[in-house]
Structure 1
Amino acid sequence: MSKILIAGAGGAPSEGVINSLLMGAKGDTVIGMGSEPSDLALSKASKKFYIPYANTPEYQGKLIQLLNAEKPDLVHFQNDLEIFHASLIRDAILATGTKLFMPSHEVIDTCVHKHKSYEAFKRAGITVPRNIMINDEQDLREAFKSLGNVDGKIWLRASSIGGGGKGAIPTNDFALAKSWIDHYNGWGDFVAAELLTPNTITWLSIWHEGDLVVAQSRERRSWTHGNRSISGVTGVTKVGVTCANDKATEVAINCIKAVSEKPHGIFGVDMAYGFDGVPNPTEINISRFFTTVQFFTEAGLNMPEIFKDIALHGEFPQLESIINPLPNDLMWLRGMDTPPRLTTEQGIRDEIIFI
């Protein structure tokens, strides 16, 4: 039996991992740490430790203190900011005897900075929506001129570390776009891109020393609270559906190999469909599971357990297929203050009276 420390405990991205590990066969102990006490209080971790935010001077000392005191066998991080900063001090973490299972820092740096990953995709010849880094008003004017769709709209978002559609907005209004970037102090950070369709697919995978261990894709039907976001994007899936798309698999693998010659750890490729039906990569969620990972666990594919067994025991899963082993059309429903639900579209129709 092992002890695993999960960062960001209590938040949706980490609780799916914690729940999955607790559902595992080995009866491992799962402890949690985080920087939001109100989140920690909601976690199912057996112990919960407060730690300063990863971008503060106190973080390293407190993390090492916790690792030396609790001696977890493995520590795993679940948000880009902490992944980036923990990666910088990985030698100090490993010196405590706690294991890590993550890509090189160079790969992490490329993926958490979206424009760097965009450049890597482009160099590899992958179809990707054209991006323009917005350093000044002239760049913004050029973006509207060269990237606008038939309605003149472009997609703006922050390139720096952060999830949940950070700073994202679709607009055809130059004055609004300028004010939006001003509000975020985002000159030199924001990127403009061609606007794609709202249809998206994510390809979540685990690699070990260059070899693919397992990958599963799912399409997103809607975002939680998307109607309360100006962009319609919140980073939190409301309805997800398992699927298999050979082109998406090809694109995802090419993207991963574009940022890493020898992929190692977790790579989640987010793609949006172009109007021609081709999946275009928008980012790689590096070294972390997405928020709906418990979906796959409940469906029969426990990726956090696979990850942990590789990291701690060198044990690899025996699967009939390593790419999309789950059946298509399984559906994961999520809402506020209600347990998530694994079902199918037919299952929904069977229990609802339509009048």
Structure 2
Amino acid sequence: MAKILIAGAGGAPSEGVIYSLLKNPNNEVIGMGSEPTDLILSLAKKKYFVPYANEPEYKDSLLKILNLEKPDLVHFQNDLEIYHASLIRDEIISTGAKVFMPEHSVIDTCVHKHKSYLAFLDAGVKVPRNIEINNVKDLRLAFKELADDNGKIWLRASSIGGGGKGALPTSDFSLAKAWIDHYAGWGDFVAAEMLTARTVTWLSIWNQGKLVVAQARARQGWTHGNRAISGVTGVTKVGATVSDEAVTEIAMNSVMAVSGKPHGIFGVDMAYDKNGVPNPTEINISRFFTTVRFFTEAGINFPEIFKSIALNQQYATPENLVNPLDTSLLWVRGMDVAPRLVTAETIRTEILFL
């Protein structure tokens, strides 16, 4: 029996992990989170409320739960909590709980997008040019040097946060300035050359520098993307398994750019440029993406492998460590409906097209 404490319980990113872990009846999952109305929805056996990770009371609340429940492993599923928990990892480990994370410097690089951009650039990985926006002069420079044929640049916040935080594609200088003003984002925002809407993610688990398993997944649209000014919500509508040597090579190079000895979870998000080359936009560090249940249902249980490595348990890995899943699989999601694992043939068979 293994007892695992999962943070962010009730939220979609964590519930995919909890669902996957509960596929093994020998796992007991305890949940904690900062939103009671999320927690109440969790599959976790017990559910504890904790303050947000950047609040002063968070540390004492977390350690109290750890000392009370004595879990074998604790895992975090959002950048803010990963960052702050990493800072107190020695105190977490002192309670007897294990963590499976890279060193804090790697986490710091990955949760701050401009730092990871600089790491990619230094390693020779192809990335769209970025400019830090510290003042209006920088913003004017960005429009002058980064704009595409339509005059557009891509703005986003560099600080900790997912879901396309602060993202805005625009050709309007006044709108861009007002947008940064609204977010109080001077010194935090970066501007970048525009990439295409075509994206792919490469999820991987590493153990002391050795790749354990990796699988690529293309994204076919964002849920409610038409309701976000950027078109990006961070919530995949349809995921599709893919296998592409170029994606694998670029993802591997991106991981090595931020860590000489990768350890834990590295999820490389990439967007294709106009020449069809995947460019890394960020690495989701030490956490699984929201649709990790996709891979579990398809036959590769990443959270179970992760847990087994962390607790020195036996685990099975596929014969092919990279892209072991069939490339015909689709994971279809919607709001308040159960997701489905299907193929294009399933859609053609079940739906009537007149």
**Same fold at TM > 0.5:** yes
2:188 paired with 1:189: yes
Residue 346 of structure 1, CA deviation: 1.2
Tell me, in whole angstroms, the C-alpha distance in 2 between the residues paired with 1:290 and 1:309. 19
Tell me, in whole angstroms, the C-alpha distance in 1 between the residues paired with 2:316 and 2:223. 32
Residue 61 of structure 1, CA deviation: 0.6
Residue 143 of structure 1, CA deviation: 0.4
- Residue in 2 aligned with 1:104? 103
Residue 278 of structure 1, CA deviation: 0.6
Contact 1:213–1:316 under 8 Å retained in 2: no
Instruction: Pick which of 307-316 and 287-296 moved more.
Output: 307-316
- Residue in 1 aligned with 2:17? 17
Tell me, in whole angstroms, the C-alpha distance in 1 between the residues paired with 2:326 and 2:44. 30
Contact 1:267–1:285 under 8 Å retained in 2: yes
- 1:158-307 alignment runs, 5 A limit: 158-307=157-306
- Residue in 2 aligned with 1:76? 75
Contact 1:205–1:267 under 8 Å retained in 2: yes
2:28 paired with 1:29: yes
Q: Cα deviations across residues 93-130 of structure 1 (Å, max 9, x unaligned)?
A: 00000000000000000000000000000000010000
Structure 2 length-normalised TM: 0.99
Residue 332 of structure 1, CA deviation: 0.2
- Amino acid aligned to 2:281: T
Q: Secondary structure at the match of 2:169?
A: strand
Tell me, in whole angstroms, the C-alpha distance in 2 between the residues paired with 1:142 and 1:92. 45
Tell me, in whole angstroms, the C-alpha distance in 2 between the residues paired with 1:180 and 1:346. 44
Residue 316 of structure 1, CA deviation: 4.2
Residue 172 of structure 1, CA deviation: 0.2
Tell me, in whole angstroms, the C-alpha distance in 1 between the residues paired with 2:230 and 2:334. 19
- Residue in 1 aligned with 2:346? 347
Contact 1:240–1:331 under 8 Å retained in 2: yes
Q: Secondary structure at the match of 1:237?
A: coil
Structure 2, gaps ≥5 residues long: none
Structure 1 length-normalised TM: 0.99
Tell me, in whole angstroms, the C-alpha distance in 2 between the residues paired with 1:227 and 1:10. 25
Residue 345 of structure 1, CA deviation: 1.1
Residue 317 of structure 1, CA deviation: 2.7
Structure 1, gaps ≥5 residues long: none
Tell me, in whole angstroms, the C-alpha distance in 1 between the residues paired with 2:135 and 2:314. 51
C-alpha root-mean-square deviation of aligned residues, in Å? 0.7
Identity %: 70
Residue 313 of structure 1, CA deviation: 2.2
2:37 paired with 1:3: no
Tell me, in whole angstroms, the C-alpha distance in 1 between the residues paired with 2:313 and 2:197. 39
Tell me, in whole angstroms, the C-alpha distance in 2 between the residues paired with 1:268 and 1:275. 23
Residue 318 of structure 1, CA deviation: 3.2
Runs of 4+ off more than 2 Å: 313-318
Q: Secondary structure at the match of 1:317?
A: coil
Contact 1:270–1:284 under 8 Å retained in 2: yes
Tell me, in whole angstroms, the C-alpha distance in 1 between the residues paired with 2:324 and 2:176. 43
Residue 329 of structure 1, CA deviation: 2.1
- Residue in 2 aligned with 1:156? 155
